[in-house]
């Protein structure tokens, strides 16, 4: 192949790619991967999400995926899908610093949900997020 034919072929490939991009929607909204309300949940020891984190998929139509799915879905429904609006439980937690990081990503009533917060320990996580991150049986 001569340098001229290589350049012509590259230009043709570029033109085809640009034509393909021009036919796709410019600002397509992200679509949920699953129907209904769902969150991919992760809880990790420490101040960052680590490879050994506990993970679960919480589905709420009908509730399933974790041992406390029905309670978690009810709490999320009452909070409009906003984990930060779940009323905290009135419990006493030790002041032991053993950080846990919680992350949720998914969709609630068609709206994207992203939540990440590091709590001082598991008791505080449970008190502030209810059953949402209760991934143990």
How do residues 53-68 score in pLDDT, each as one tens digit?
A: 999 999 999 999 999 9
Helix (H) or strand (E) holding 56: strand 54-60
The answer to whether 130 touches 71, Cβ cutoff 8 Å, is yes
The CB density around residue 75, as the number of other CB atoms within 10 Å, is 18
Q: Given a cut of 50, is residue 110 above it in pLDDT?
A: yes
What is this structure's pTM?
0.72
- Per domain, the residue ranges of the chain are 33-129
Q: Which two structure tokens, joined as six digits, stand for 88?
A: 């905290």
Q: Write the pLDDT tens digit of every residue in 64-99.
A: 999 999 999 999 999 999 999 999 999 999 999 999
CATH architecture of 33-129: 2-Layer Sandwich (3.30)
CA distance 46 to 121: 9
β-sheet bridge partners, residue 105: 40, 114
For range 99-106, the mean pLDDT:
96
| Predicted local confidence at residue 58, as pLDDT | 97
Give the whole-angstrom CA distance, residue 86 versus residue 81. Answer: 9
């Amino acid at each position: 192949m001569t340098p001229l034919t290589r350049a012509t072929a590259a230009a043709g490939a570029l033109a085809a790619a640009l034509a393909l991009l021009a036919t796709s929607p410019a600002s397509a909204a992200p679509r949920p991967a699953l129907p209904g309300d769902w969150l991919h949940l992760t809880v990790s020891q420490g101040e960052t999400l680590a490879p050994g984190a506990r993970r679960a998929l919480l589905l709420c139509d009908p509730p399933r995926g974790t041992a406390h799915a029905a309670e978690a879905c009810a709490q999320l429904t009452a909070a409009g899908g906003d984990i930060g609006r779940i009323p905290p439980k009135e419990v006493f937690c030790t002041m032991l610093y053993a950080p846990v990081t919680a992350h949720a990503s998914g969709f609630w009533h068609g709206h994207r949900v992203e939540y990440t917060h590091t709590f001082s320990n598991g008791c505080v996580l449970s008190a502030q997020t209810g059953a949402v991150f209760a991934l143990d049986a």
